[in-house]
Every structure is written in C-alpha cells, then in structure tokens.
Structure 1
Amino acid sequence: MELDFTFFAFAIPAVLFAGISKGGFGSGAAFAATPFLALILTPGQAVGLMLPLLMLMDLGALKAFWKKWNWHCAKLLVIGSLPGLALGGLLFGIADPDVFKFLIGFVAVGFVAYQVALATGVLRIAQEEVPDWGGYLAGFVAGFTSFISHAGGPPAAVYLLSQKLGKTEFQATTVIAFWAINALKFPPYVALGMVGKETVLATVLLAPVAFLGVYLGVVGHHKLSDKWFFRLTYVFLLITGGKLIWESMT
C-alpha cells in the first residue's frame, strides 16, 4: 500500500462517504467505501484499511446517539454475528484474493438488487415483528458479510426494519451493534495481516476525514432526506461492484 496521490484521491472520498452513512443513514451505505478502495488495493488491504476508520466513526456516532438504541435488538445481532465472523475469518485465511474481489463485488451488486426489489414491491419487509431467532440469523449473515467487506448493514437492516423502530432508534441500534461487531473483527484482522503499520499511518492521516463524515451524517440525519444519498450509493455500488466482478473473472 503506497500512500501516494492516487491512494488519497480514492481514500478521502471513500472515507468521507462512509462517515456520512455511519453518522446519519443507518450505516447501510458505509461499505461502499470497500469496493471503491478495492479498485486500487487488494481486498485484504481495502477491508483492513477501513476497519480502524470505521471504529473511529463508530466512536463519533456513539456520542451523538448515546442510549437511544434498542438494546435487545442490538444484543441479538452481536451474539448472532459471532459464528458469522468466525466463518468469514476462516475463509479469508484460506481463499484466493480474487475470490474476495468477486465476493465484494457480488455483495455490492446484490445490495442494489435488494433495494430495487424493495422499491418495486418484489420483496417486502415482514409486517409483523420477527422473533428473536430472526435477530440471531440476521446477526450471523451480518457478521459474515461484515468480515468480508464491511457489508453487515443490509442484513441487519432487514431485521431492524421488521421491529418498527423509530428513525433515531434504528440509527442508534446500528451504531451500537456495529461498534461491537467491528471491535470483535479487529484481533482476527491483525492476525491475518490485514492491519499493519501502513494501515495505522493511513488511519491517522484519514481520521479527520472520518470524523468530518460522521459530523455531516449526524447533521444530515436530522435535516435531510436520505432519498438522493442512497440513489447515489446504488449507482456507485453498481459501477464499482460490476468492475470488481469483471476483474476477478478475467
């Protein structure tokens, strides 16, 4: 990983975008930074770089949404994530890097397909509250996709939306749940060599961008519609995800 002009030209907008999502839009679009960075870095470098930055964003967002979360829902997601994180760590340790480039791209494109299916009525979120096992299942999927590409937001959102939480309670619950999940990911990331000295230096340099993004997201949460933010996310993910899939197969 070379901290040159090209690196920062990609990293600064990616981190800013992730911070805005983390701070005010349910974290669902934060993982868009990973496929974008994977265009110039290896999959391991991309996810390794984003983890400490996401952890800083989590801390910034925790202050803004302190104790506004639904603790029961958050607890189910975190406990359920443990086997998913273990599976993600196992696969990351043995699979070819192109496999993860494909998976990151697939998750990105799949996220867009999921949102289109919701918008067109092809897929509907459960109208009745999902029982506790649904929270554990969502946590398992969130743990796995979070380990692979920091994409735990969508499966967690499916469960949380079924619980009919208010806008702020939903946001706060994602913040506390992924604060814990990201903290759990850190030791295996270090063990797998995905977080090193260059990652720490890049984190220090990009930390102001991360906190600025969170601040803008918190402001946006209270003042702005998320409609256009997520439309931009979908286009962004479709392009970068498609490119990663193409690269992994060729």
Structure 2
Amino acid sequence: MLGFDLGFWILAILAVWVTGVSKSGFAGGVGVIAVPLLALYIDPRQAAAIMLPLLVLMDAVSMKAWWGKLNLTQYRRLIGPACIGIAIGYFTFDLLNADLIKIVLGVLSIVFCLWGFASNLQLGETKTGNPWIARLCGTITGFTSFLAHAGGPPLNLYLLPLRLPRPEYLATVIFTIATVNLVKLVPYAMLGQLNGDNLLISLILMPVAWLGAKYGIRLQAVISDQWFYRIIYSALGLIGAKLLLDTLF
C-alpha cells in the first residue's frame, strides 16, 4: 500500500478536486490533468486505477445535475466508437510501460494545452456534425480515456463546433464520459488495476471527489469558462513539459 506521504496526498487532493469541478461544471475537458499530475509521483497506471472509482462517483453527481439535457443523436454516434477505443487500450496495455505512458501523457498534456487555447478561435458551425468525424473522435476518446482518463479533449474537438446550447453540450459530454468510465471498470478489473490498495486510496479521496463535483455545478454558473480554462490548461502544459523532461532527460 502506498504510504501516507504528504507530497502524494497534496497532489492527489488537488488532482481530484480540479477533476471534480471540471467534470460537473466545465464539460470535463480539464479533468485530463489528474493522471499527469499524479504521474509526477507514482506510476501512471496506478494513478489511472485510483482515479477511476472517483470518476464514477463524480459522474453520478454530474448526471443528476444535467439529467434530461442529453443530445441523444450525438451520444449514440460517439459511444460505440468509444468502446472500440477502450478495447484498443485494453489489448495494448501490456505494451505500454510506465516511461512510455509518461511520454504519451506529456505529449497529450501539451497538445491538449495548446488545443485549449486554440479552441477560443472560431471552429465553424454545423447543426448535426459529420458522422465519420464523430466515429474518429469517439474512438480516440475511448483510447485516451482508457490510458489516462483523458477522453474529454478529443470528445470536445467534435462537439464544440456543433454550437449546441450550453446545457445540452455539457450533458452530452458528461453522459458520454460517464458511460465510458462505467465500461472501463471491466477491463481495469481484468487487468488487476482495481486492487485493494488502489481502492482504499480511492475510498479515502471520495469526499474530495464528491465536494469537487458539487462545487463545480455551482461554480460554472458564476465564473467565466474562458478564465477557468486558461488557468487549468496553462498548468496542464507545465505538467506535460515536466513529465517529458523527467522521462527523456
């Protein structure tokens, strides 16, 4: 069992809190920060395993808040390909060692940071979206979510240009990611990632996850999305750079 080291718990509480706030009020895009942040301290595979039960709890809180707002057409387009992406992650899991995952996380973190700032630009408008783009983004969502719970950004790459009403957009992201997280419980368990030690740490952090999710619902109503994203994406870029530097040099 991981000891009660102060540095780990500070990082864990920060990661879980930010993820909870992001998932429930800001479409989950910056929830990608959790595993890279914890990967500064522990094996990224263990970090992902610790986070999964917490994400399921956050999803339950978020789904209740946005119930009835889901765009069912877009959800149906995305969820099948996302499951394919999860399967790809499962079958390639043994090929990904800790250093390789850190490199992937570092690159993804920097890419998502740059995307976060670039997304302020006009992305075009459409009413229904392209089904093939939905399938591609859905598959990437499933794979990156399996790897590091980083499904939000590729999912947003498809949904943001649709210019859906804010509640409908939030609900579609939240329900899609929630389904993905539930499906991931099976392969994570089969890989032995949901062991007693990781679940105990998850249990200890659950109050933080619940409070973060509840606070995110309130916060999204009073704070500018733009400023929230700027702060978190900046931090994500710095974390990604540190992961790459630590692994490569």
Normalising by the residue count of structure 2, what TM-score does the alignment of the two structures yield? 0.94
Find the counterpart in structure 2 of residue 212 from structure 1: 211
Find the counterpart in structure 1 of residue 90 from structure 2: 89
Identity %: 36
Find the counterpart in structure 1 of residue 171 from structure 2: 172
Find the counterpart in structure 2 of residue 46 from structure 1: 47
Alpha-carbon shift at residue 159 of structure 1 (Å): 1.3
- Equivalent residues of 1:125, 1:158 under 8 A apart: no
- Equivalent residues of 1:93, 1:192 under 8 A apart: no
Task: Give the direction of change, closer, same or farther, for the CA distance of 1:118–1:66 in structure 2 (3 Å limit).
Answer: closer
Find the counterpart in structure 2 of residue 163 from structure 1: 162
Deviations 1:161-202 (A, max 9, x none): 222211111111111111110011111112222221112111
Q: Tell me which stretches of 4 or more aligned residues in structure 1 moved more than 4 Å.
A: none
Deviations 1:36-73 (A, max 9, x none): 00001101111111111111100011111111111111
- Equivalent residues of 2:33, 2:236 under 8 A apart: yes
Q: For 1:23-62, what aligned pairs fall within 5 Å after superposition? A: 23-62=24-63
Q: For 1:63-212, what aligned pairs fall within 5 Å after superposition? A: 63-119=64-120, 121=121, 124-128=122-126, 129-212=128-211
- State the superposition RMSD in angstroms: 1.4
Number of aligned positions between the proteins: 247
Q: In terms of mean alpha carbon deviation, does 20-29 or 63-72 score higher? A: 63-72
C-alpha distance in 2 between matches for 1:91 and 1:197: 24
Alpha-carbon shift at residue 115 of structure 1 (Å): 2.4
The reply on whether 1:2 has 2:3 as its aligned counterpart is yes
Deviations 1:210-248 (A, max 9, x none): 011011110012222112211111121111111111222
C-alpha distance in 2 between matches for 1:160 and 1:62: 18
Matched letter for residue 49 of structure 1: I
- Equivalent residues of 2:116, 2:229 under 8 A apart: no
- Equivalent residues of 2:124, 2:161 under 8 A apart: yes
Normalising by the residue count of structure 1, what TM-score does the alignment of the two structures yield? 0.94
C-alpha distance in 1 between matches for 2:34 and 2:130: 32
Structure 2 unaligned runs (5+)?
none
Alpha-carbon shift at residue 154 of structure 1 (Å): 1.0
Matched letter for residue 217 of structure 1: G
- Equivalent residues of 1:48, 1:195 under 8 A apart: yes
Alpha-carbon shift at residue 125 of structure 1 (Å): 2.3
